[in-house]
């Protein structure tokens, strides 16, 4: 039972009091931390150093091999959305950003510099778990500046050939997503949850990226997955799973879809209050939703946790 191992990680995390106050004030990490690996698609060796950043910096990638050229983790820098999400600014690329951003966003890290010495974020074990451990190692620091949330005010939907993604107003950050693959170990899976740091660390972060053996050659021919192995991805053949340890969760694929979805929503650049419902949606639709939201200020409002709390309290007594 692999999941037991991860619940003990959460037990460690739950003893840290910042989970609660993280709702009110902007955060960064306490000390720089490093991690190395290879890129899933490029196969290149890459080292990341994450460092504290000032108030209202956001999450910013710095290409340390290119004089610390900055690429903010924001929707307007999205370059490619097939198989992985890539950011580009003035021709400088950072690819496969979604697992790192998903974890930092879900654990409430508002500000950090992510120095990276190559063009692709390392895949590590294919999940968000190594980034959860990295943040725990770094510690979390609170600023006095109040966090500003982006709250959805009216429903928005993006549809394309049977795929759909919708966001509804909500006072929490809530996800509903599904996957459907014609495979005996996958089939139709769905999950719905309010995303909190605790639940994310326990239920979503450990879920690994996945693929099917029959599509590997086509992907390699497109120049993808040069770094892929059973060490960093779940691989299914027609009948079963090829990884010796099996799956971490029976619905690991659906949980990983949630991880990827959050990684793309992170490009909003502010903590989100809304209910996202993704029906067979992938990176391209996630990005299309974020662009729709951010291109129309009448869709959302910006408010602090205290403003939201007083509004909710007022609604309860009136
Ligand atoms: Zn992924």
Mean pLDDT of 251-269: 97
Catalytic, 283? Answer: yes
Quote the pLDDT of residue 110.
Answer: 97
Which band of pLDDT confidence, cut at 50, 70 and 90, is reported for residue 153? very high
Q: Above 60 in pLDDT, residue 116?
A: yes
Residue 260 Cα to ligand 1 middle (Å): 5
pLDDT value at residue 226: 87
Of 99, 256, 283, 286, catalytic: 283
Say if residues 270 and 294 touch (Cβ distance below 8 Å).
Answer: no
- What CATH code is assigned to 2-317? 3.30.1700.10
User: How much distance in Å is there from the Cα of 84 to the middle of ligand 1?
Assistant: 7
Strands 300-304 and 148-152: what pairing? antiparallel
Q: Supply the pLDDT for residue 15.
A: 45
Alpha-carbon distance of 61 to 115, in angstroms, equals 6
Q: State the alpha helices, DSSP H only, in 157-236.
A: 197-199, 216-221
* pLDDT higher than threshold 50 for residue 144: yes
Q: CA-CA distance, 290 to 167, in Å (whole number)?
A: 10
- When the pLDDT of each residue in the chain is averaged and rounded to a whole number, the result is 91
User: What is the distance in A from the centroid of ligand 1 to the CA of 312?
Assistant: 35
- What integer pLDDT is reported at residue 82 of this predicted model? 75
DSSP line for 23-71: TTEEEEESS-EEEEEEBTTT--EEEEEEEE--TT--EEEEEGGGTTEEE
Give pLDDT tens digits for 61-98.
999 999 999 999 999 999 977 778 999 999 999 999 99
Give 318's pLDDT tier (boundaries 50, 70, 90).
low
Q: Where are the domains of the chain?
A: 2-317
More confident call, 248 vs 221:
248
Q: Above 90 in pLDDT, residue 283?
A: no
Q: Convert the pLDDT of each residue in 1-40 to its tens digit.
A: 333 343 444 444 444 444 455 578 999 999 999 999 999 9
**Ligand 1 centre and the CA of 280: distance in Å?**
14
Return the pLDDT at 310.
84
Contact 2, 248 (CB under 8 A): yes
Give the burial string for 219-233 (b: 16+ CB within 10 Å, else e): beeeebbebbeeebb
149 and 271 in contact (C-beta within 8 Å)? yes
Of 79-83, 104-108, 192-196, the range with the lowest mean pLDDT is: 79-83
What is the rounded average pLDDT of the residues 200-229?
92
For range 167-187, the mean pLDDT: 94
What separation in Å is there between the alpha carbon of 223 and the centre of ligand 1?
A: 17
Six-digit token pair at 219? 């992907």
Q: Kindly give the pairing relationship between strand 25-29 and strand 140-146.
A: antiparallel
Distance CA 50, CA 150 (A): 25
DSSP for 224-288 reads --TT--TTTSEEE-SSSB-STT--SSTTHHHHHHHHHHHHHHGGGSS-EEEEEEEES--HHHHHH
Residues in contact with 266: Cβ distance below 8 Å, sequence separation at least 6, in sequence order: 59, 73, 101, 102, 104, 105
**Residue 309 C-alpha to ligand 1 middle, in angstroms?**
33
pLDDT at 21: 55
Does residue 127 contact residue 274 with C-beta atoms inside 8 Å?
A: no
Q: What is the pTM of this model?
A: 0.91
At 222, phi and psi to the nearest 5?
-90, 5
Q: What is the pLDDT of residue 16?
A: 42
Residue with tokens 């950050």: 173
Taking the alpha carbons of 30, 32, 38, 44 in that order, is the dihedral positive or negative? positive
């Amino acid at each position: 039972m692999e999941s037991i191992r991860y619940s003990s990680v959460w037990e460690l995390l739950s003893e840290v009091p910042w989970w609660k106050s993280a709702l009110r004030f902007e955060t960064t990490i306490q000390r720089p931390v490093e991690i190395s690996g290879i890129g899933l698609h490029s196969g290149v060796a890459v080292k990341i150093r994450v460092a504290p950043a000032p108030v209202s910096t956001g999450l910013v990638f710095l290409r340390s091999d290119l004089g610390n050229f900055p690429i903010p983790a924001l929707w307007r820098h999205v370059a490619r959305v097939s198989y992985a999400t890539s950011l580009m600014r003035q021709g400088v690329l950072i690819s496969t950003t979604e697992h790192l951003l998903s974890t930092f966003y879900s654990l409430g890290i508002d500000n950090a510099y992510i120095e990276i010495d190559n063009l692709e974020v390392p895949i590590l074990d294919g999940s968000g778990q190594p980034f959860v451990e990295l943040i725990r190692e770094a510690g979390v620091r609170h600023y006095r500046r109040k966090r500003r949330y982006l709250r959805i005010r009216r429903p928005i939907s993006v549809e394309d050939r049977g795929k759909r993604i919708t966001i509804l107003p909500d006072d929490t950050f809530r996800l509903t997503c599904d996957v459907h693959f014609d495979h005996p170990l996958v089939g139709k899976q769905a999950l719905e949850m309010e995303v909190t740091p605790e639940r994310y660390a326990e239920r979503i972060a450990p879920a690994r990226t996945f693929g099917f053996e029959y599509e590997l050659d086509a992907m390699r021919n497109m120049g993808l997955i040069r770094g892929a192995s059973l060490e960093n991805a779940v691989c299914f053949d027609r009948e079963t799973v090829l990884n010796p340890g099996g799956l971490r969760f029976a619905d690991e694929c659906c949980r990983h879809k949630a991880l990827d979805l959050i990684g793309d929503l992170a490009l909003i650049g502010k903590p989100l209050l809304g209910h996202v419902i993704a029906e067979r949606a992938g990176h391209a639709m996630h990005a299309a939703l974020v662009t729709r939201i951010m291109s129309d200020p009448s869709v959302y409002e910006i408010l602090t946790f205290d403003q939201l709390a007083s509004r909710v309290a007022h609604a309860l007594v009136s």
